[in-house]
Amino acid sequence: MTQRLAARGRAPAGTAALVSAYSALLADHDRSTAGGTPLLTEAGAAHVRRLIRAARAGRPRPAAAPPLPHWDAVRRQLWLGPQLLKEFRQPAPAQVAVLAAFEARGWAAGHAPDPIPREPGETADEVRHRLHDTVKNLNRGLPAGTIRFRADGGTGLWWEYAPARRAGR
């Protein structure tokens, strides 16, 4: 029935309630942002706007997005949803700095500037090499089909969902 109503140009039942709820959330976000404490990240606000447009157009809600990673600094554990990806039992200050930077930025942006403090007298090539080694060590041991990290040429890092490897590769 929902498809028939959408085909006639009318939104399915419950759409008005969804649009109203999403719109109220955005209004609360805008008020909080004006006060200096936003409720949503920019990515979150953009997602809610997409949900409103989809509901108004009579399209079904987009499939649930995969969970964002989470860095538990106290336990020194990297999580993706309920899956433990990596646990640090030994000091790894560069890797921990990267994970803390992504956690502080909320992970949704996908990019973080290089958070590793420079050593006195360190050259630009040494900075790039250190960042490359940090990315290599972060990726080491991450389960296939979860996430991976990559450097952007020495000024920062990206994280992304990694496709599962196919058998025989």
Chain segment 72-110, per-residue pLDDT in tens: 999 999 999 999 999 999 999 999 999 999 999 999 888
pLDDT: which is higher, 158 or 32: 158
Question: Is the dihedral angle over the CA atoms 1, 5, 56, 24 positive or is it negative?
Answer: negative
d(CA 46, CA 146): 24
- The DSSP 8-state label assigned to residue 84 in this structure reads E
List, edge to edge, every strand of the sheet that includes 77-80: 69-72, 77-80, 83-87
Higher-confidence position of 97 and 57:
97
User: What is the residue-averaged pLDDT of the chain?
Assistant: 83
Distance CA 124, CA 130 (A): 10
Contact 107, 160 (CB under 8 A): no
Mean pLDDT throughout 118-140? 93
Per-residue pLDDT at 152 exceeds 70: yes
Give φ, ψ of 36 to 5 degrees. Answer: 95, 5
Of 14-23, 57-66, 124-133, give the lowest mean pLDDT range. 57-66
Question: What integer pLDDT is reported at residue 62 of this predicted model?
Answer: 61
Higher model confidence: residue 67 or residue 22? Answer: 67
Q: How far is CA 92 from CA 16, 30, 73, 99, in A?
A: 51, 39, 12, 11
Summarize pLDDT for 35-50 with one digit per residue, the tens. 887 777 777 777 777 7
